[in-house]
Amino acid sequence: MEELVREYRRFGKNRLANRFLMYGPEQGSYRLRVELANFLNRTRGMQVTEKEILITKGTQMAIYLTTELLIRPGDTVFVTEPGYMDANQTFKLAGANLVFIPVDKEGIDVDRIEKLCKKIPPKMIYIIPHHHRPTTVTLSAERRMRLMNLARKYGFAVLEDDYDFDYHFTSDPLLPLASLDTGGHII
C-alpha cells in the first residue's frame, strides 16, 4: 500500500497529471470514436464518422439515453415477446406504451408490425437482430429489409441492439440494419 500511495503522489505532482485526471469529452474519446468508425465501416458496411458515435458505459445506458431523447409519455414502442426486460423497463419508466411483437425462427414478426403500423405507428421499435435475447434467433435478411421499408414508410426509429454481431459459430453474420439506413431511422 505504501508503494501505491507513493506512486499516486509522484504521479499527482507531474505537471501533466491534470490532463489525465480530468473528465474526457462527453461523447467519449475522440481517438476511440475515430477507430470505432473505421472498424464499423470496414466490418459492417456502415458509413459513419466519429461524430455519429457516442461512447456509453454499456448497452443499458445507451438504451436509457435514446429513450430520454425520443420517447415521451404516451408514445408507442414495439418490443419483442419474449424480450429484454431491462430495456422494456426503461421504456415503461419513460411513459411509453409497450406493444409486444412475437418472435419466431426468423426473428421479430414483421407482418404483425405492418398490421399494427396501419392503426398506430410506433415512435420506436427495439430489436436485437443477432442472437435475440432470450431466444438466440437471428433476424432474417428478408425481414430486415421489410423492417427498413416500414421504418421509412411510417417514420419510426429502430433501436438496433446488435451486441452480439461478432460472435457466430455456424454462419456468417448479416449486416446490421444501420449499414442499409439511408433515412436516419436506425440508432
Task: Give the pLDDT of residue 148.
Answer: 95
> What kind and span of H or E run contains 6?
helix 2-13
Task: Give the pLDDT of residue 9.
Answer: 83
- Three-state SS letters, 142-155: HHHHHHHHHHHHHC
Domain residue extents for the chain? 1-55, 57-187
- The string of pLDDT tens digits covering residues 60-99 is 999 999 999 999 999 999 999 999 999 999 999 999 999 9
Domain 57-187 bears CATH identifier 3.90.550.10: no
pLDDT beyond 70 at 21: no
Average pLDDT of the residues in 18-42: 86
Read off the pTM: 0.84
Question: Across-strand partners of 157?
Answer: 124
Task: Give the pLDDT of residue 136.
Answer: 84
